[in-house]
Amino acid sequence: MFLSSIINGPMKKIFTLLCLVVIANSFAQQDAWVYFTDKPNVAASIANPISILTQKAIDRKQNHNVAIDERDVPVNETYISDIKAQTGITALAKSKWFNAVHVRGTEEAINALSSLTFVERIDFADHNLNSASRSYTSLNKTEIEEETIAFTYGDTQNQVEMINVDNLHLADFTGEGITIAVMDSGFPNANTMGAFQRLRDNNDLLDGYDFVDRTSEIYAFTGSNHGTKVLSTMAGFIQDQFVGTAPDASYYLFRTEDSGSENPVEESYWVEAAERADSLGVDMINTSLGYRMFDNPNYNYTPADMNGQVTFIAKGAAIAVEKGILVVVSAGNSGATDWQTVGSPGDSPAVLSIGAVDENGDYVAFSSQGGAAQIGYQKPDVVARGGAAYVINEFNSIVQNNGTSFSGPILCGGIASLWQAIPDASPTEIMDYVRQSASQFNAPDDFLGYGIPDLDLALSNALSIDKSQIENFSFYPNPVETRLNIKIPSTVNQLEVSIYNQLGQEVLNQWITKDLSFVNVSDLASGIYFIKLATTNNSKTVKFIKGQSHN
C-alpha cells in the first residue's frame, strides 16, 4: 500500500514490470502428478499384509469385507529416488493408492520424465497443459471461519443437542473405540492445552505428522490454529464449560494444508495422509478443507468439475471410502459467492458432506450448496451448527467462529459416538442411518441436504432393524457378465435392487419379485460395484465384480 503511494510515472511502470516478472517466474514452476507403471513385490506383500499394514488396519478391512489389494502396497522407492535425481525436479508427495508422485519443476523438465521406462503418464495441475483451459478468481477459503465473533465463555449445549448426541453421551457412547484422523492446517498447543488434558490422560491423542514440512513436530505453530479449533469441537473437554461430540474417541492429527499458499500439492498431501490413516486402521477421516481455486489460476477447477470424478483429492477420498473408512467433509463456505457449490473432496458422492446452520437450525448464507454437477446424488448430505459455533483456540479460550469447518467435525464426532453404539455397522450403513434420521429426509434440497440429523433416532432405527430376513438374500454368479441372479426368501414378496459404482453413484435401480428375480448388468462397464438389496424395513449392501461381457 505504501509503495503504491510513493511510486509514480516511469518508476511505477518499472515496478509494475518487475512485479509481472516475479509472478511469471513463480508460475514457470509447474506442478504435476507422475504415475508409475508397476510396484515391487505385490503378490508377496498381499500374501503377508502385516508387512504393509498395521494389525488394526487388517482387522478393520476384514470386519467390513474390504479386500487388501495392490493399492495397499507402497510405491517403489527406487522410482522415487530416480525421479528426485532428475535435473530441475522436486518430489513433494507420493501416493501408493495412485502409484504416483507429485512433482514440481519446469514444464520441460517434467515432460522429460516421460522418457523414464517406469513412468506411465504425467498429469499437469495446469489443465491448459493437458486439455481445455480453466480460470477463476481466487478466494481465501478460510477467511470466513477465521473471523472471531466473540471472546466469551459458553458451552456446547446447543450444537450438541441439535444433533441429539447428548442422549448418546448419557448412555456412555462418547466415541470410545473409534479412531479419527483429522486432516487440517495446524494444531498448535494441542499437546499442552487444558482442553485436551482428558484426551492425553486417556492416551487418545495418538500421533501425528506434518506432511507439508515433513516432520513429526505436529504441534508447532505453522501460521494457522485452524486444526486445533476443529479438533476441539470433537475432543475438547473443559469441566462444566465445554464438551466435544466425541471426547473419548482416539485421534491422529495430520497437517496437509499449507495456510500460506494454495497449490494442488495440498491435494497430494491429503491423499498421502489418507493412505497413512488407512495403514493405521483409522475408522473415520474428518477434513475441514476444500479445493477449487489456486494461487496459479491455470490450476483452477470450475463448478462443473465438482462431480467427484475430476479432482485428485476427490478420487483419493473415494478410495479411502472403498478401503472401509467413513470420510466426513465440510461442504465449504461459498454459498454467498459466485462459486456457490460445494468444494472438493466434499463433491464426492462417496463422502458425507456437511453444510451449516445457525443456532436456530436455519441455513446460513455462507454454507456451500448443491449444484448442477452433482448428478444423481445430494450435496450437502446433512447439516449441523456452523454459524457462531463454539470452539477452543490454541490459548485454551472458548470462542465462537463461523464456518462449515466446524459443522463438519461437530457431526463427525457425533457419528463416532453413534458408531460406538453399533460397532458392527458398516460405513455405508452408518451414513444411511444418519441421512435417514435427518429432518428433511423425504424432501432434501441443495441448502440443507437431508437436513439436521437426529443421532439418537439413528441409533433407535439401527437397533430396531431385524436383519434375519435380509441376511438370507444371496446372489450369483460373482463375478458376473450379463445376468445377476438373486435368491429371495419365501417371506419376502418384492425387493428393491440398487447398484452403485465405486464413486457411490447409482447406476441401476429396479424392483424384483420371485417371478423375476434377476437384473441384467450387461450394459455396465467391467469393474467393482456395490449392490444394495432392500425391503421396506432393512437393507444389505455387498460388493460384486462385473466381468467383461462376451458376445
pLDDT digits (tens, 9 = 90+) for 367-383: 999 999 999 899 999 99
354: three-class secondary structure by DSSP = strand
**Active site residues per annotation:** 184, 226, 405
> 100: which 3 cell numbers?
504416483
Q: How far is the C-alpha of 549 from the C-alpha of 475, rounded, in Å?
A: 18
Name 250's bridge partners.
179
Q: How far is the C-alpha of 218 from the C-alpha of 188, rounded, in Å?
A: 8
Q: Is the dihedral of CA 290, 413, 349, 36 positive or negative?
A: positive
Which ranges of 374-502 does DSSP label H, i.e. alpha helix?
Answer: 404-421, 427-436, 455-464
CATH, range 148-464: 3.40.50.200
Q: How far is the C-alpha of 157 from the C-alpha of 391, rounded, in Å?
A: 12
Q: How far is the C-alpha of 464 from the C-alpha of 26, rounded, in Å?
A: 59
Identify residue 223 by its one-letter amino acid code: G
Provide the pLDDT for residue 91.
94
Under 8 Å between Cβ of 312 and 294: no
Cell 491448459 appears where? 128
Distance of CA 546 to the CA centre of its chain: 27
Contacts with 177 (C-beta within 8 Å, 6 or more apart), sequence order: 249, 420, 423
Q: How far is the C-alpha of 225 from the C-alpha of 528, rounded, in Å?
A: 40
- For the chain, which residues make up each domain, given as ranges? 148-464, 470-546
Under 8 Å between Cβ of 10 and 37: no
Provide the pLDDT for residue 33.
94
Contacts with 402 (C-beta within 8 Å, 6 or more apart), sequence order: 144, 145, 147, 149, 333, 356, 364, 366, 386, 387, 388, 389
Polymer length in residues for the chain: 551
Fold held by 470-546: Immunoglobulin-like (2.60.40)
As a 3-state breakdown, the chain gives helix, strand, coil percent values, each rounded to 5, of 30, 25, 45
Q: How far is the C-alpha of 532 from the C-alpha of 15, rounded, in Å?
A: 63
Under 8 Å between Cβ of 230 and 405: yes
Q: How far is the C-alpha of 136 from the C-alpha of 323, rounded, in Å?
A: 34
Identify residue 199 by its one-letter amino acid code: L
Query: Which residues, given as ranges, of the chain have pLDDT below 50?
Result: 1-26, 132-153, 551
DSSP codes of every residue in 230-269? HHHHHH-EETTTEE-S-TTSEEEEEE---TT---THHHHH
- DSSP 8-state secondary structure symbol assigned to residue 445: B
Provide the pLDDT for residue 171.
85
What distances in angstroms separate CA 274 from CA 183, 209, 396, 437, 453, one per listed residue? 8, 12, 28, 28, 26
Q: What is the per-residue pLDDT across 471-526, written as a single tens digit (0 to 9) for each? A: 567 778 878 888 888 887 777 778 888 898 866 778 999 988 877 788 999 888 88
- DSSP 8-state secondary structure symbol assigned to residue 318: H
Contacts with 68 (C-beta within 8 Å, 6 or more apart), sequence order: 46, 49, 53, 58, 61
